[in-house]
Amino acid sequence: MSNITLADKPPGVEGAGFFATTLDKAIGLARANSLWPLPFATSCCGIEFMATMGSTYDLARFGAERPSFSPRQADMLLVMGTIAKKMAPVLKQVYTQMAEPRWVIAVGACASSGGIFDTYSVLQGIDEIIPVDVYVPGCPPRPEAILDGVLRLQDIVKNESLNRRNTPEYKALLEKYGIATENG
């Protein structure tokens, strides 16, 4: 038997031969531990992400075994590096191509706020064009910090209500960014 740590089961009622919990808890557990990352790496932070995926730090331990380079099959968009204004429409297009539910981590100072590049050509934070769930500070963040960001996102995913993506608040959020929601 290898020393694999299993995820804790969600709170529920247990008895002989059955275990009852709510559906959104069970789905949240499954989603949180199988996040498929889409690395959107543009610069320095991308190199640290390589280290995070590499043998020493190994993001795969947390269920993100398969980096998906197609936005259609990814849940977690990791934006790593400076997003120039020229790149902004591309990033937005990638985000809209992702299927719901989708989450975004802004890795590093540039993606979070523009970082040291307060210039005419750099977007001052990706939250100007797409909604962001987790911000990871650092220029670039250490691999541990990126891992921590992913763990924080797992907490969000675990506790997200199944209905959230259908609420008017969520639709209003996307409308604010000018992103079309599924039913118009």
| CB of 85 vs another protein, minimal distance in Å | 6
The one segment of 11-19, 21-29, 47-55, 153-161 that binds another protein by CB under 8 A: 47-55
Q: Does 51 bind another protein (CB under 8 A)?
A: yes
Let me know how long the chain is. 184
SS (H, E, C) 49-111: HHHHHCCCCCHHHHCCCCCCCCHHHCCEEEEECCCECCCHHHHHHHHHHCCCCCEEEEEHHHH
Return the half-sphere exposure (C-beta side, CA atoms, 13 A cut-off) of residue 134: 23
44 annotated to bind ligand: yes
Check residue 121 for interaction with another protein (CB under 8 A). yes
Query: Which is closer to another protein, CB of 26 or CB of 179?
Result: 179
Q: Does 153 bind another protein (CB under 8 A)?
A: no
Enumerate the known binding-site residues for [4Fe-4S] cluster.
44-45, 110, 139
